[in-house]
Structure 1
Amino acid sequence: MSFFKKKEDKRENNFENFPPIGGLMVSKMVVDEQIKPRFMYREKRMSPEDSGWRIFTGFEGEEYTDDPSNIGIYNPSTILKIDPSIEDLLFKGIGSVYEKTEDSTEWYKVSDFEMEDDYMVTHKLTENWLIDINNLFERRVEESRDLLYTTGDKSVRIAIWNEEGKSKEAIYAERNQDIENRNQTVSKTLMTFDFSDAEVARLGYMIQEDDNDKSYRVIYGFSIIDRQVLEVAIYFDDEEDLDWAIETWKNIRLVDTVA
């Protein structure tokens, strides 16, 4: 079945099979007056049932939006029936902001909209490690005990384990050998990295991974000290987020390096 046939089927099904991303908080101008949205942003969820999306027509005044009775919570399918153009945008991550000037124009990304939770925070991971990360990232501990930070389209997974009796140099040599010898038929190494300094040895590599819906880049990085390894896997959809991914890895640091 072709991509276009799938899209057509989704229209015929009135979006009832749209993935369960959570409820949308939407101006009642959209639903009651059938005015198509022109401004939408995704903030941190207030509950597991909340998608984080806030959607407006752009015609609401401050007095209107300050009245809670003018905002409703709707299933994505309800709003997609009014405006199918937001379908792909609903998969964008926390921190995303989009706007359009007319119903017939394309959505464009907004970079100067300030969100309440958009600031850097420092989290203590263990007695040895800290991370500086944007507060927009949701944090949870997985069943594997890995720590996950995610906005939906960008994710940071962290695992830490001990290598008893091994020096930083010995662990580095082992990891470096593993990277050089990794199986390229499974996924090709796109880039390798070495950001080592006097205190922490940092090396890693980037590959592309695919699932049923999309392709994305992943950096696997190892931050190494004597007798311990912190492994980070950083996932991102947009190639332009490479600098963000590298900076996030570097922002995982030893507790005693804090000024």
Structure 2
Amino acid sequence: MTKNFWLPPDKIVNGLAPNYACYASDRIMVEGAPVGYMYRDGEGWNFLAGDEDQDYVDDPANLGLYSLNTLANYDRAIIDYLDAPPGAAFIRSGDGFVEDPEGAPTDPDADTSAYLNPNFPTRSGYQQITRNWALTLPEPMNQRIEDGSLVFWRPGLTAWLSAWGDETYTTAAERRAEFRTKISPLAYDHAEWASGTSLCLSYRLAEDHDDARLPALYGSAVTDASHLLLALYVDSGDDLASAYSLLRSVTPI
């Protein structure tokens, strides 16, 4: 079925947002409704008017695959939120959006605990990993120590963590600035934020592998006293959302 889009092609302006793929409802693209709800899962961004019922969303005929730049032309209010990591969700509020504390939708029936390795300890929820750092695991995971690193893993997601004391730098800002200089020029999806007294950064990097894993997620969290390095390897988009959740949960103690 041919769709008659709200904006004709000659009204689409280039360069408002990256040309990454996203999904959007016909309520926006055909009927011209503003974006009312937007979320980023492991596969990318999804845009809804916010008044669709579940039957409407479940019908693939009511959704389409577009570029983020096209969506930005339909509703420029989304532009300031497109750098949010997988797992983020936003609800319309006036001319902008407020973050949905529940985050992006997830499968309530998903249960990875049955696939964990019974020969290793199982951890879930809040974890104090050193005397300086804590994090929250998004779902049950196995734990082991390997090559001096703490490893949390489950099928589809493996997180390596290494903690270090202050050896050279006197401030968190200096330490993060040094880490910034060591990031590969091929890295993408850069982000920086603060968590308590720590300064954090993350990026993704595609590396050569013999398997089908997605580009890895790397991160660091630094304080004046110590720093934590993280490398997270994922197999799918849903695993990537969990990886971001784990990384963003890191807090200094």
Calculate the TM-score normalised by the size of structure 1: 0.48
Flag the structure with higher strand content: 2
Using CA pairs below 8 Å that are at least 6 residues apart, which structure has the higher relative contact order?
Answer: 2
Calculate the TM-score normalised by the size of structure 2: 0.49
